[in-house]
Amino acid sequence: MTALPSASSDELEAPRSQPQRRRLVIDTAATLADSGGYEAVTMKAVADQSGVALATIYRWFSSKDHLLAEALLSWVDLIGADLAFRELEGDCPADRVAAIMFRVGDVVTEHPQMASAAITALLSHDEEVLRIFDRFHEAIERWIALAIGETPNRADVVELLEHLLWASLIALVRGRDTPATVRDRMVLASRMLLSASTSQNAE
């Protein structure tokens, strides 16, 4: 096995703190993906662009998929904070789900190559990526739960909508869907599931 290069003394003495340097590495990967997609991101390219030693990056991230998944998680956290801060538009749960899809669709539309690269990374079997994958799905479930509020069979409705959204995101970054079609599908599914759940509960 080829040994990884050691971190330089210059890097170890750099004024940036470790969290700042780690953040810089994630941001650099996102920038590379945003301009060139999944293939443009290599650990060496990230090291060269960020100025952080390759050995250090490998201590923090097991692979480029792990790194890109972390970049996606940063996006997810920003969207989640925005959703928690602003009141969702819409008089009914389905309309509020649509509002979430507008925001997600905007991010994907503005950064299509980064979104595609990150979703590709999430499909990796890397153990670190699998852990992030779970956090990603938990975040989406929180968004949907926020949108639909208290409703009969809430957990089942949220889970089904979350799976549909994940499948739609894959189709979106593969160019098979548009943000508008994903939004319309999520609204239709929300209405059908919420209607069926309410009817079932009334029986």
pLDDT tens-digit profile of 122-143?
989 999 999 999 898 888 888 8
Amino acid identity at 40:
A
Cβ-count burial 96-126 (b if 16+ within 10 Å, e if not) = bbbbbbebbbebbeebebbbbbbbbbbebeb
On whether the pTM is more than 0.85, the answer is: no
Give the pLDDT of residue 22.
93
| Helix H or strand E encompassing 199 | helix 179-202
**Pairwise pLDDT comparison (25 vs 181), residue with the higher score:** 25
pLDDT of residue 200: 56
55 plus 152 within the same structural domain: no
Token pair, residue 107, equals: 């991010």
Which amino acid makes up residue 33? Answer: A
Q: Is 23 in the same domain as 83?
A: no
Domain that holds residue 101: 69-202
Same domain, 73 and 55: no
Four-residue CA torsion sign, 195, 95, 106, 46 = negative
| Same-domain check for residues 56 and 95 | no
For 49-88, how does the pLDDT look when each residue is reduced to its tens digit (9 = 90+)?
999 999 999 999 999 999 999 999 888 888 888 777 677 7
Same domain (yes/no): 34, 96: no
- Burial class from Cβ neighbours inside 10 Å (0-12, 13-18, 19+) for residue 93 reads buried
